[in-house]
Structure 1
Amino acid sequence: MKGIHDPDEALSLFHEYYQMGYKHDYPSFSSLIYKLAKSRNFEAVETLLGVLQNLNIHCKETLFCALFQHYGKAHLSVKAVELFRKMPCFNCVCTVQSLNSVLNVLVDDNRFGDAKEIFDESKEMGFRPNSVTFNVMIKGLLNGAEFDEACNMFDEMLERNVEPSVVTYNSFISFLCKKGEVEKAKKLFEDMVKKGKYPNAVTYALLMEGLCSLGEYKEAKKLMFDMEYKGCKTKVIHFGVLMSYLGKKGEIEEAKSLLSEMKKRRFKPDVVIYNILVNYLCKESKVEEAYKVLIEMQVKGCEPNAATYRMMVDGFCNVGDFEGALKVLNVMLKSRHCPRSETFCRLVAGLLRCGKVDGACFVLEEMEKRKISLDLEAWGDLIRDAYSGVGDTNELLTQVIL
């Protein structure tokens, strides 16, 4: 099962072996369920879970935690809760890990009320909430801007003898910095250190972002250098915070200087760092320079991701270089990444406007392969955009579709 990537093919083979009298074991079931859940074929997942239950095969908790996450990504958190409550029926030992997983799915799906209900029931269910449990609940409250309630949850955490972690403090620091209350965040940072909790790289990055949001770039940069003396190593993420600020301010040359400084200090830029440069260069219409950054990252062994290619394709389209956009699109598709449907449409319209019909047809074929379809109205908009002011658009529409 593990060697078959296509979930439908794996399901077909599973049934074929079953009909031949082969008795599938737990690894076979779980491998197939993972594949089906990833492809969002939850109907088949639930059928297989029913078979597992009837056969009374011992299931691992990790399977259910993974299914909760897949349900969550599909915004089916109610299904995740149903499965969580049915876990004892699957001959599965249910620990606080399952509780934390389902709570996190609910919080991320903006269903804090449901998460609170399960949290309140957790003691009766036999769970003892840990720091992760409280961190998830605090995250949910802060997401809803319920700062006072989050503080109450923190107090409850202490009352129940659960030690706050650096993640707990980071949640509050992040919230305060986003609200522009950086001085309060600094005080919390100091309180954290006094209580023996050592700030990590994320803590410093959050404070740096807060300082940058107030325009205090120099202080943010100083904090990056000071953190090493306080026992926390500077990481690529910290350079990224500073470069993002410089990019937003239009100070691209300064951002490039920071990249050079990174290299001198033997930090290897990652895809996030390169994407910051690509993004802001494209926004400044310096697309050729952004393309050089794309080439550099490939030469340096840093693989561009979907965001890199999307920014480059959009960047070329923005400056009217649709052939350049098509060139990047080709590489993007070969790398198994895909642009947004609006980018496809914009590129088709641009190529048609330039008289590059073959290129436009190629893009349309790629859209069809990926099942990206357009309704008649969208087709009309595309043709009107491509041939604005040129002849009868209805006739042109018929020609392109045919």
Structure 2
Amino acid sequence: MMVFGLSTRLLNICIASLCKSRLLERAEAVIIDGIRLGVIPDVVTYNTLLSAYSRFVSLDAAYSVVHRMKEAGISPDVITYNSLLSGATRNCLLSQSLDLFEEMLQAGIHPNVWSYNILMHCFFKLGKPDEANRVFQDILLHNLTPHSATFNIMLNGLCKNEYIDNALMLFRNLQHHGFVPRLVTYNILIHGLCKARRLGQARKMLKELGESGYEPNAITYTTVMKCCFKFKQYDEGLEIMSEMKSKGYTFDGFANCTVVAALVKTGRIEEANACMEQTMRNGIELDLAAYNTLLNMYCREGKFEAAYKLMDEIENGGLLCDKYTHTIIIDGLCKAGNIIGAEHHLQYMKMVGFRENLVALNCMIDGLSKAGQIDRAMDLYKSMETKDSFTYTSLVHNLCKVGRFRCASKLMMKCLRDGKKILRATQRAVLDGLRSTGYTDEARKLRWKIRVARILR
């Protein structure tokens, strides 16, 4: 009997190892060989196989294992259904998740706290926080003891569904009832606050984390640092970076690119260069995002020869330049006043397969306008299949600069009809320009259109 138990356990270890390596056909063959040798699979064997099918193949393939279990006289258990629920949730299959939960209940299998956790996560993923909250209440009603993961799923789901205040209230309420948050909980809330543009509260939460006895990790610091840079609070972001480095944390390639981009935007080119060199010295392999950051740095410095050499290096290294890569070059050439060079590169971009790139065309419109070629900018605008708010704002702003307020007004009317937004400062410039040139009736009509558009939004 002991030998049989050990043999089945060895079989399960082999199956787990093969499944982890995604060698499912070999796992199936090992099960067949085991049966031939008299080693009978148990519920653990099939659960391991089912979980792998659910993760790497499909939910249907995983569910077929349940039929095989029953044929072998093995009853599925709560772990079986939790694996199936995880597969359905991973693929956002809510109806299947609910059917599986109902099937589990009808089979007399009592869901455990993880069953509810998975279902709750599924509702949050699909943007149904009210239903997720009802699942959370069911955990308490069924006298199940919530796991720390239960609270983290709730907090993370509320944050991702933009209920940050509810997440904070729940967090404080849990603390009041004895819940001791760990680092992962603080990271969830800090990320949620950053996403909600509440940087001040994120910094306070970071301070609270330090006072709780836990050390912020690289994820914590990187989250806050990126938030600072995103909202143009560069000094605060760089301060976070210094604190992170002083504690011995190393940046990954993406975090380094974020820092370099922020340094470039603030004109600190030497520091950006030093940071990029340090990245390469640390042996961090540059991906396309890193190369694009470096390319942006060269273009801002006007080093276009170095920029083109870098593009060759990207291609020779096996990476393909994307739309953003070419847009950086076009934008840099426009800002340097080299409109002809920008136009040539736009044509080259079309030749290599990028038919229309809205951002690149917006750069061209702005570049032509600032180079005194407003009519050519208007022609380019008319030829574009797609326009966005930046397209209109740039043209309207530049038309105002050359005193063409009526043309700017008509374009702005078109923008409002298309449901696009124009900066309020640009709106004021058009209205003031119309009034100052005697077109008061047209200014009144435009003001009315702006008000109607705001109400409709």
- Given that 2:252 and 2:284 are in contact with CA atoms closer than 8 Å, whether structure 1 keeps it comes out as no
**Would you say the 8 A contact 2:59–2:88 is kept in 1?**
no
Q: CA deviation at 1:137?
A: 0.9
Is 1:318 the counterpart of 2:230? The answer is yes
Asked whether 1:386 is paired with 2:283, we answer no
In structure 1, what residue type is equivalent to 2:83?
S
1:268-347 alignment runs, 5 A limit: 268-333=180-245, 335=247, 337-347=249-259
Distance 1:390 1:241, change over 3 A: same
CA contact (8 A) 2:295 2:307 kept: no
Do the aligned residues in 2 keep the contact of 1:322 with 1:347 (CA within 8 Å)?
no
Does structure 1 retain, via aligned residues, the 8 Å contact 2:69–2:75? yes
Residue identity opposite 1:386 in structure 2? M
Q: Which digits, 9 at most, give the CA deviation of each residue in 1:281-323, with x for residues without a partner?
A: 2233333432322221221123333332332232233233444
1:206 aligns with 2:118: yes
More deviation, 251-260/333-342? 333-342
Deviation (angstroms), 1:266: 1.9
Specify whether residues 202 and 369 from structure 1 end up closer, same or farther in structure 2 by C-alpha distance, changes over 3 A only. Answer: farther
Count the aligned residue pairs: 305
What is the DSSP-based 3-state SS (H/G/I as helix, E as strand, rest coil) of the residue aligned with 2:118? helix
Matched ranges for 1:162-241 at <5 A: 162-179=74-91, 181-193=93-105, 195-241=107-153
Deviations 1:342-369 (A, max 9, x none): 3213313432543546754664575356
CA distance in 2, matches of 1:172, 1:276: 26
Q: Where does residue 245 of structure 1 map in the other structure?
A: 157
TM-score with structure 2 length normalisation?
0.57
1:81-96 matches, within 5 Å, as 95-96=7-8
The AA in structure 2 aligned to 1:227 is I
Partner SS, residue 74 of structure 2 = coil
User: 1:383 Cα deviation (Å)?
Assistant: 4.4
**Which of structures 1 and 2 has the bigger CA Rg?**
2
The one of 146, 163, 173 equivalent to 1:261 is: 173
Relative to structure 2, which stretch is displaced further, 251-260 or 325-334? 325-334
Unaligned ranges ≥5, structure 1:
1-92
Name the amino acid aligned to 1:120.
Answer: I
Amino acid at match of 2:194: C
Distance in 1 (alpha carbons) for counterparts of 2:188 and 2:16: 29
Counterpart-to-counterpart distance in 1, 2:219 and 2:289: 25
Note if contact 2:129-2:161 (Cα within 8 Å) is conserved in structure 1.
no
Offset, 1:190: 4.4
2:67 equivalent to 1:155? yes
Amino acid at match of 1:327: E
8 A contact 1:200–1:232 mirrored in 2: yes
Whole-angstrom distance in 2 between the partners of 1:95 and 1:334: 52
Q: Which moved more, 1:186-195 or 1:205-214?
A: 186-195
Q: CA deviation at 1:374?
A: 4.9
1:114 partnered with 2:26: yes
Does the aligned pair in 1 maintain the 2:253–2:290 contact within 8 Å?
no
Q: Contact 1:177/1:210 (CA < 8 Å) preserved in 2? A: yes
Cα pair distance change 1:331/1:105, threshold 3 Å: farther
The one-letter amino acid of 1:319's match is F
Q: CA deviation at 1:256?
A: 1.6
Report 1:43-54 matches (<5 A).
none
Structure 1-normalised TM-score?
Answer: 0.63
**1:104·1:136 contact (CA, 8 Å) conserved in 2?**
yes
Q: Which amino acid aligns with 2:195?
A: K
Letter aligned with residue 346 of structure 1: T
Structure 2's unaligned 5+ residue stretches are 310-457
Shift of the alpha carbon at 1:98? 4.5
**How many Å separate the matches in 2 of 1:103 and 1:323?**
53
Find 1:128's aligned residue among 37, 40, 60: 40
Which of 116, 134, 143 lines up with 2:55 in the alignment? Answer: 143
Determine the C-alpha separation between the residues in 2 that align with 1:169 and 1:297: 37
Q: Deviations over 1:243-267 (max 9, x none)?
A: 3333223232222222222222221
8 Å Cα contact 1:103-1:115 kept in structure 2? yes
Q: Which amino acid aligns with 1:166?
A: V
The C-alpha deviation readout for 1:61-101, integer Å capped at 9, x for no partner, is xxxxxxxxxxxxxxxxxxxxxxxxxxxxxxxx974445434
Aligned counterparts of 1:153 and 1:374: Cα–Cα separation in 2: 43
The structure whose RCO (Cα within 8 Å, separation 6+) is larger is 1
Residues 1:229 and 1:249: Cα distance change in structure 2 (over 3 Å): closer
- The Cα of 1:147 is off from its aligned counterpart by 3.7
1:135: how far off?
A: 1.1
Q: 2 CA distance for matches of 1:235 and 1:379? A: 40
**1:109-162 C-alpha deviation (Å, 9 max, x unpaired):** 443223222232232456432322211211122235544443332132233343
Amino acid at match of 1:242: M
How far apart in 1 are the matches of 2:60 and 2:264?
57
